[in-house]
A and B are shown apart, each in its own frame.
Chain A
Amino acid sequence: MPQTFPGTIPLRNFGRSQARVSALGFGGHHLGEAPDEKAAIEIVTQALDGGITFFDNCWEYRRGKTEIWMGAGLKGRRDKAFVMTKTCPHGRDAALALTMLEQSLRRLQTDHLDLWQIHGMAFDNDPDLFIRPNGAAEALVRAKKDGKVRFVGFTGHHNPKVHLGMLKTGFPFDAVQMPLNAFDGTFRSFEQQVLPELNRRGIAALGMKPLNGHGEAIKNGVVTAEEALRYAMSLPVATTITGMDNLEVLHQNLQIAQNFKPYSEVEMERLRERCKQDAADGRYELYKLSLKFDNPEARLAHGFPLDTEQSEVQDMLGAQQNTGHPFPEKKF
């Protein structure tokens, strides 16, 4: 009998609402790296058993595969989960965002989302495009009014200034997602610039990229996985979302989260100091720096030139054949 880690993870308040979510959140993107649907269902099942209640996903991850697999994994236990997914208009109209919502609900096999967020605010003009008449802001209002989503928010990993620009639109967000880790603590810092503002406004703060996206700093021995995860979870956030593409990683994360003890301020400062020198050029947070880490779907929707040598771009152009319409439904 393989080892499992059933248990509980501390629950935290979701902003000013009555909802509570697990301090560790399940990242949806990595679920697509599981070998097949059966393996994915097992990961989701064990995550629920281990005390994770917060589940992240996104309409455009793996062309829908991760939503479909998560839906299958949550089947029959939907009420145990706080389900979030994201819509991907990238500056386009409210109607497109709402079409994506219907697809997400169907794939996730549910009639409502706990949280629906605008995906990937990255460019300096994203706040303007979001709040314009007929922009995605109107879709958030509509979906909430129709009872299809309980809470609404936005995400992005590129630049704290863009997040602040989104907050300046005055839209009543319930949640905001951002990269939070010990490197971010001193480099173009969401922790310093955005997090305090969310806490002040009572908006639920959702951390992501606790291991810097792909764990480069851990591979290079700057921090351990436990240090990195504990740092992120010790910040004043509702949850810390991290991707788990296999049971081994899930189990490692569950052990840390089930026995979670926050770092003291002194320990936090020590870890930031250790990372500071390596953080200063941003190479451990390439999502803040490089155009190559931009989502090609978002670049295309904005009319920015694409690097056709990128594999993501080639996949995208091939799979979609540029109909200008949302992705055709695909079987996985």
Chain B
Amino acid sequence: MSDKLECNRRNFMKNAALFGAAPLISRGSMAKTRDASEQTVPAGQVPQRPMGRTGLNVSAMGLGGYHLGSAETDQIANEIVAKAVDHGINFFDNAWEYHDGLSEERLGKALKGRRAQAVLMTKVCTHGRDKKIAMRMLEESLRRLQTDHLDIWQIHEVVYDNDPDLIFAQDGAAEALLSAKQQGKARFIGFTGHKDPEIHLKMLSYDFPFDTVQMPLNACDATFRSFETQVLPEVNRRGMGALGMKSLGGSGELVQYGAMTAEQGLSYAMSLPVSTTISGVETIEVLDQNLRVAVNFQPLGEGAMDQLRDQCRLAAADGHLELFKMTTKYDGKVGREQHHFPTVEKLPL
């Protein structure tokens, strides 16, 4: 992958120069050149913010659950969670389908004895199927997470144009959210998706009492198929908790292609009017990098925000820095199967 990218970039630079186009992308990659061991995490805590009208306060940076399952060992996952908690991170993301349950199991173990300090979220993965399946997934998630209730339970991966119809169909996933809340198994409910602001807006148009909404938010999103301009204001207007994700483009594309540094990308996302910015971490080094931004975080001013938006505006316009909006790369297998869509392998975009 990185070889190919490098090759593309080299060709691009050559071509851009020959065509006299202004080079939009520099080759530097700050995150990779810095030796993490040289720097320590400063003393202090990640600040907290209210999560919509829920009365909960959550840390301005949240720990993404998917990458906990990618960590090399259980031990490393434990260390990541423990260190995150020590520095004031209390928001923990997960999903029923991440690594076939491994992410939830690891988080459950790592939070043992510290459950009370955590705002625990996981997601249900019906992908259009009915309430009964959703409730079964809920029980499995609770068991894996070793808890009797979730703080937030969200519908995962609302990314296809017909998802809202399926979710709000009779006996659909929306009914499961209400049941779970009534049964006290989920304190708050929401949904998440990475594809298209219009699908989020359609979900909101049902006026269902969502407490939280999760979406991709980063400096490129600001000018390209923008959740920031189309969805975030509406979520804020409705008093829901806005949860940001993909602050660096999903797999660090913003940094990889030299649009900005990891520090700039995280700072931008965290400076938006969101409750938390969820960032996935699979090593202590990456956690430290995140904590150096998040501990004692002060939001950027509007001028600095504008500058970062401008910095990546031209490169953002085709979507190669936000592939989750463009391709099947970030679409889950179960979701595609349940919709009877070909798998990602059969539809490489």
Chain A residues with a Cβ under 8 A of chain B: 122-126, 161, 186-188, 276-277, 279-283, 286, 289-292, 294, 299-309, 317, 322-324
Contacts and interface: CB of A to CB of B under 8 A. Distances in A.
Contact of B12 (A124, A186, A292, A303): A303
Contacts of A282: 161
B72 interface: no
B15 A322 contact: yes
B19 A301 contact: yes
18 contacts: A124-B318, A161-B225, A186-B161, A186-B162, A277-B340, A280-B160, A283-B341, A289-B327, A290-B326, A291-B323, A292-B349, A302-B317, A304-B315, A305-B320, A306-B15, A308-B7, A317-B15, A324-B18
Interface stretch (B22-30, B41-49, B244-252): B22-30
Interface in B207-257: 223-225, 257
A302 B160 contact: no
B336 interface: yes
Contact of B319 (A161, A291, A303): A291
B47 to A, nearest CB: 34
Contact of B313 (A125, A186, A303, A306): A125
Given A291-B320, A305-B5, 10 more contacts: A124-B223, A124-B224, A124-B317, A125-B317, A188-B161, A277-B162, A281-B161, A289-B327, A303-B24, A305-B11
B301 interface: no
Given A291-B318, A306-B8, A307-B8, A276 B257 contact: no
Given A277-B340, A305-B320, A322 B8 contact: no
Contact of A305 (B25, B314, B331, B347): B25
Dominant SS among interface residues on chain A: loop
B8 A123 contact: no
A299 B318 contact: yes
B332 to A, nearest CB: 12
Contact of B23 (A279, A303, A309): A303
A308 B11 contact: yes
Contacts of A292: 349
Contacts of A306: 8, 11-12, 15
Interface string B306-337: 00000001111111100100111001000010
B161 A290 contact: no
Contacts of B340: 277
A301 B21 contact: yes
Nearest to A283: B347
